[in-house]
Amino acid sequence: MRITVLGTGMVGQAVAGRFSELGHEVVMGTRDVAATTARTEPDGMGNPPVSVWLAEHPSVRLASYPEAAQDADLLVNATTGAGSLAALAALDPQARSGRVLLDIANPLDFSAGFPPTLSVKDTDSLAEQIQRAHPELRVVKALNTMTAALMVHPELVGGGDHTAFVSGDDDAAKQAVTAVLAELGHRDVIDLGDLSTARGTEMLLPLWVRIMAALGTPMFQLKVVRAAT
């Protein structure tokens, strides 16, 4: 598959790197290629500058958002929540038309420090905002409930025995994303229903960040434990 990953941060690097390892043709999109490649310092989260990461991942190409998104089989939104709508608006309309968007972003607002609040919640979600802005996209929310390393290597905790979620209005798009999750190693994927159910997974983040703070690590995942059937 040709996969376009929008965003060059921790999530973008994790998914772009893993999809490339798995044999996909991966292009990473950024707002301003020159500015992105000019950075020489780690970002605020301690991730290496993109230029260093790209040198270590020569099969991944960096391009501007509109160029990166040409002819993609799958679009992945790995931008920050605050940057998601602008990133998607930057694409050529034809590059969005009918495309499946795996939306990983969370609408986190760090303006008051840690823990972040949510800029949209309860009666709306970032996923729905994106879908309303671009009805021609087929938005599927997934992977936004875990740290980047576990998105692409779920086996790193509990041998992968935990749960991922998908939300979306288009069943075929959800099936396509569920197949991608399976390729990444996610064995238990719950289809929560239509895209409004992304309100639920996005609203997990306030609990997620507090569990991370209590455990002192983001390397945990939630498993939905059911009764034996």
With CB under 8 A as the contact rule, the residue among 162, 164, 180, 184 that binds a copy of itself is 162
CB atoms within 10 A of CB 12: 25
Q: Which is nearer to a copy of itself, 83 or 116 (CB)?
A: 116
C-alpha distance from residue 30 to each of 6, 178, 180, 190, 204 (Å): 6, 26, 23, 31, 27
Piece in contact with a copy of itself (CB under 8 A), picked from 7-15, 81-89, 179-187, 211-219:
211-219
Q: Least separation, in Å, of the C-beta of 222 and a copy of itself?
A: 5
CB-count exposure of residue 27 (10 Å: 0-12, 13-18, 19+): buried
State the nearest-atom distance from the C-beta of 206 to a copy of itself, in Å: 5
161 C-beta neighbours (distance < 10 Å), count = 12
The structure tokens 């499946």 sit at 100
Residue 82 makes contact with a copy of itself by CB under 8 A: no
Region near a copy of itself per CB under 8 A, out of 10-18, 59-67, 69-77, 204-212: 204-212
What is the distance of C-alpha 112 from the center of its chain?
Answer: 23
Per DSSP (E only), the strands in 32-73 are 61-64
Cα angle: 153, vertex 157, 158; to 5 degrees: 125
Task: Give yes or no for residue 41 binding a copy of itself (CB under 8 A).
Answer: no
User: Which of 35, 86, 172, 213 is close enough to bind a copy of itself by CB under 8 A?
Assistant: 213
Show the binding pattern over residues 91-120: x = contacts a copy of itself (CB under 8 A), - = does not.
Answer: ------------------------x-xx--
Residue 49 interacts with a copy of itself (CB under 8 A): yes or no: no
| Cα dihedral value 59, 62, 66, 72, nearest 10 | 20
Task: Please pick, from the candidates 57, 121, 153, 187, the single residue that binds a copy of itself as defined by CB under 8 A.
Answer: 121
Q: Is 133 in the site for a copy of itself (CB under 8 A)?
A: no
User: Residue 22, interface with a copy of itself (CB under 8 A)?
Assistant: no
Map residue 193 onto helix, strand or coil.
strand
Query: Whole-angstrom Cα distance, residue 203 to residue 146?
Result: 13
CB 101, min distance to a copy of itself, A? 20
Give residues in contact with a copy of itself (CB under 8 A). 115, 117-118, 121-123, 156-158, 161-162, 190-193, 197, 199-201, 203-204, 206-211, 213-215, 217, 219-227
